A = this chain, B = another copy of it.
Amino acid sequence: MTIITSKANSVVKNTKKLHQKKYRKTSYLIEGWHLFEEAVQAGAKIEKIFALAEHAEKLENYPQTILVTEEILLDLADSQTPQGIVAVIQKEEERLPDFNQGKYLFLEDVQDPGNVGTMIRTADAAGFSGVLVSTQSADIYSLKTLRSMQGSHFHLPIYRMPVENFLEQAQKSGLSILATTLSKDSKDYRELDRLEDFVLVMGNEGKGISQAMADQADQLVHINMKGQAESLNVSIAAGILMFYLS
């Protein structure tokens, strides 16, 4: 195992660049043992492992391990608790899911990394077949998204595409588009017919879904609320809908 003790080391500096999206073309950073174990289990290609010396034994089968100081580890991580391990994972090629059957989630321009990650984690828990993410949504490989996602990107196919391409694909396939709106000129989710195959669309936190999406949707759906709150957080709404529909 290599040992690095200086933050100025070029390996450390180059790895830190992965905090920026433009450098995450082929690989990305994860932090913490939970995500590391998920990566191992998924058979992901682990390019580098940065760990504290106290974990050397646990990592003896990984020659790509680099032992570093706590200071370097905190510099590579973005949380205050990387739990002694940060790793560089090779991105897998995205596969456009077979779009003829199954339950899918489409995120249309969802901005917040925490929301994107949480909704993907929830889609996984609800047994969805895959998640499609619009090009304008938050990057799924940022440390923040990965933290909320809790390894679900190792379980589910996730595909990124422009909204127009999604609308084209959805039209070709027979999948119903269920698009979530705030407008009460739509069905409450409890009135929906049970569907086996569909794409549930969640929109941007501020603006909701686009007009093009509303126009092409097979069904517009909202969540009736009893209290005085004006709206639900988008991840909460997605959770309620996915578990209701699954």
Contact = CB atoms under 8 A, between A and B. Distances in A.
B228 A124 contact: yes
A155 B229 CA distance: 8
Contacts of A152: 227-229
Interface residues of A, number: 33
A225 interface: yes
A148 interface: yes
Contacts of A237: 239
Contacts of A235: 233, 235-236
Secondary structure type dominating chain A contacts: loop
Contact of A125 (B114, B151, B155, B226): B226
Contact of A233 (B118, B127, B223, B232): B118
A121 interface: yes
A227 B118 contact: no
A23 interface: no
A68 to B, nearest CB: 26
A171 interface: no
Nearest to A225: B125
A240 interface: yes
B233 A126 contact: no
Contacts of A156: 227
A150 interface: yes
Between A122, A128, A151, A156, the greatest number of chain B beta carbons within 10 A of the residue's beta carbon is seen for A122
A156 B227 CA distance: 9
Interface string A63-107: 000000000000000000000000000000000000000000000
A241 B206 CA distance: 25
A62 interface: no
A243 interface: yes
Contacts of A114: 114
Interface in A214-246: 223, 225-233, 235-237, 239-240, 243, 246
A227 B124 contact: yes
Contacts of A125: 223, 225-227, 229, 231-232
